[in-house]
Structure 1
Amino acid sequence: MLRFSFEQLSAFIAVAETGSFSKAAKSLHKDRSTLHQQVGNLEIDLGITLFDRSGKFPKITFEGESLLTQAKHILYQAQLLQNSGDSLAGGLEKSLTIYHDISLPISVIIEVQNSVQEQFPNTRLNWIHRGKGESIKALAQQRADIALVLGGVNAVLPEKGLAFTNLGYLPFSFFAHKDTQLGKSNSCSLPDLEQNLQYVAENHMEVGLGKMLQISSQQAVISNTDIILSLLKEGGWALLPNHVVSSSANAQQIKKLNIDFMNSDGRWSFVLLTRTQQNIGKVKSTTINEFKKSFKSLNS
């Protein structure tokens, strides 16, 4: 049986942080006499002196200092419990787990994260970077609530048990380091690409992008796009989402190639997946709408 109350802990913490019973009372919107009584009762219940009151202002004792961190932790956990209870009572999810392809623009993640957290501060968003196969598996095993993946070679996705929304398209281009022979060329032909090493992002192979555009007989599959951009300095080329290059620390060193057999950048669809047999809670519904809004502005 606890011998103290949360109100007593609140009073103790407020006095310790403000250094004054008057200021603490004002911060808690209580009478000064009430705080004196609550702190005094806490000292009696614990059997120790929390503040030295011999001076003009209360000075926390060694014993009080020793208990202050624990008192703050107890109140924090109590508030967390209350907030979680309020969220559950209101039908709000405690957390959402979002699996996403490495090509998902960081700007989209930040925009959705900030918007959802502003509306639902007690719901935690977990962002897990995985490829299409692992993301679909995580959805099926209920380890993921939402998955954002690159679309397949065919425009029509869905796999059994999954609902999908085509969010829009990401532009892809051919890139090389500006100091290489390809980078210095005003225009590149198909034979130029065939004769140079082609770097392919691992996640692009999984959705067929790498195989469909397998141009060079020399291919190296790399899991990390930053590594690809670094390797381009030694030669070769890569087909990458434009935003991956523009947001990279190597952006100034990488050149978008002028391909003579293409009039414009390539485009690849980005798809949002959910389970069909799944309740759509308020937070999840809002998160999906935020993704749609973010991609709409990205493609406008």
Structure 2
Amino acid sequence: MLDSLSLDQLRVFIAIADYGSFSAAARRLYRAQSAVSNAVLNLESVLGVKLFDRSGWRPQLTDHGHALLVDARAVLARADQLKARALGLTQGLEAELSVVVDVMFPTMQLLDLATRFRHAFPDVLLRLCVEVLGGVPERVLSGEYDLGIQGSLPDITPELTGHVLPEIALTPVAAPDHPLSSQRKITNDMLREHTQIVLTDHSGRTKGRTFSVFSDLRILTADLGSKRAMLLANLGWGFMPRSFVEDDLSSARLSELDLAERQPRTRSMPLIAVHRTDISLGPARKWVLEMLLTTDKKPTLRRS
């Protein structure tokens, strides 16, 4: 019997409950009152319960009616969502958007992006992933992810188009009781004498290459959270995104090291949004790129 239930019957049911009478619902729906009455009678027959008590001047929801009204609203909401998603798909809107970001990408910026995306595209599934170094372009090139935010790895793979984003500040830090924390004008030779905690790449794209590594004594990790934990535990020193350790510096859980020499690559890290050149960008992808870019026009990098 439930196969004969229709969305129109549910709309009539909700309209009567919302506007208080069959006549008011009929006016709101631009229907004859008899059509509204018949729709409710048919719905009650399909469901096998009375939805309204009609003994008074105005119809009153029965206990069953109150309970089923919640479900009716949910069914219509899902139906409207289905129609909106189908319309979006016919207009080129993606059903899903997947973004892989470098581990150095600021967490709060990622949360803000996800929040804004959810409001802008409530019907598009957003899938996020965090990677290190070559893991970002590798996942984009494979087609597993639509967009990437590449940070630690400075190279742009030929098959990718890159959009330059604002750089993120890097800070050399160590625990307060680390030997380097009490030193001033720390030289590169002094850095080499102490264990450096370094992010490592599982993708193999950076094999044989190092970035901002000064010491042969190293602890390797692929996770920024574990790197911070090791720094706090005084297992070594390392470069961290300023935003990631701001609270640790303010509370003196970590100390900023006073380096005598700071090459540009140790002061800040460029971020580059990448996507495959051979794939067109849908509305959601374009929106994410616009959110990532500043109001100032940044260059687009395309390698051939």
The normalised TM-score by structure 2 is 0.77
The CA distance in 1 between the partners of 2:295 and 2:176, in whole Å, is: 32
Asked whether the equivalents of residues 108 and 294 of structure 1 are also in contact (C-alpha less than 8 Å), the reply is no
Asked whether the equivalents of residues 132 and 222 of structure 2 are also in contact (C-alpha less than 8 Å), the reply is no
The CA distance in 2 between the partners of 1:250 and 1:15, in whole Å, is: 61
Q: CA RMSD in A?
A: 3.7
* Equivalent residue number for residue 290 of structure 1: 291
* Equivalent residue number for residue 151 of structure 2: 150
The CA distance in 2 between the partners of 1:238 and 1:111, in whole Å, is: 27
* Equivalent residue number for residue 213 of structure 1: 212
* Equivalent residue number for residue 62 of structure 2: 60
* Equivalent residue number for residue 8 of structure 2: 7
What does 1:139-288 align with in structure 2 at a 5 Å threshold?
A: 139-150=140-151, 152=153, 157-202=155-200, 211-235=210-234, 236-246=236-246, 252=251, 253-262=253-262, 266-288=267-289
The CA distance in 2 between the partners of 1:293 and 1:270, in whole Å, is: 12
The CA distance in 1 between the partners of 2:212 and 2:260, in whole Å, is: 16
* Equivalent residue number for residue 45 of structure 1: 46
Gap change, CA 1:74 and 1:249, over 3 Å in 2: farther
Gap change, CA 1:269 and 1:191, over 3 Å in 2: same
Asked whether the equivalents of residues 100 and 128 of structure 1 are also in contact (C-alpha less than 8 Å), the reply is yes
* Equivalent residue number for residue 301 of structure 2: none
Unaligned runs of 5+ in 2: 299-304
Asked whether the equivalents of residues 196 and 216 of structure 1 are also in contact (C-alpha less than 8 Å), the reply is yes
1:138 matches 2:136? no
Aligned length: 289
Asked whether the equivalents of residues 132 and 199 of structure 2 are also in contact (C-alpha less than 8 Å), the reply is no
Asked whether the equivalents of residues 229 and 250 of structure 1 are also in contact (C-alpha less than 8 Å), the reply is no
* Residue type at the aligned position of 2:51: L
* Equivalent residue number for residue 129 of structure 1: 130
The CA distance in 2 between the partners of 1:35 and 1:288, in whole Å, is: 49
Gap change, CA 1:11 and 1:100, over 3 Å in 2: same
Name the SS of the counterpart of 1:88 in structure 2.
helix
Which is worse superposed, 233-242 or 198-207?
198-207
Unaligned runs of 5+ in 1: none
* Residue type at the aligned position of 1:286: W
Percent identity between the two aligned chains? 21
Name the SS of the counterpart of 2:163 in structure 1.
strand
Greater helix fraction, Structure 1 or Structure 2: 1
What does 1:55-134 align with in structure 2 at a 5 Å threshold?
A: 58-62=60-64, 64=65, 67-68=68-69, 70-134=71-135
Asked whether the equivalents of residues 164 and 273 of structure 2 are also in contact (C-alpha less than 8 Å), the reply is yes
Deviations 1:264-285 (A, max 9, x none): 7522221211111111222222
Asked whether the equivalents of residues 52 and 61 of structure 1 are also in contact (C-alpha less than 8 Å), the reply is no
Deviations 1:117-151 (A, max 9, x none): 44444333322212343333332332211111125
Asked whether the equivalents of residues 132 and 201 of structure 2 are also in contact (C-alpha less than 8 Å), the reply is yes
Asked whether the equivalents of residues 11 and 24 of structure 1 are also in contact (C-alpha less than 8 Å), the reply is no
Which is worse superposed, 206-215 or 120-129?
206-215
Gap change, CA 1:181 and 1:249, over 3 Å in 2: closer
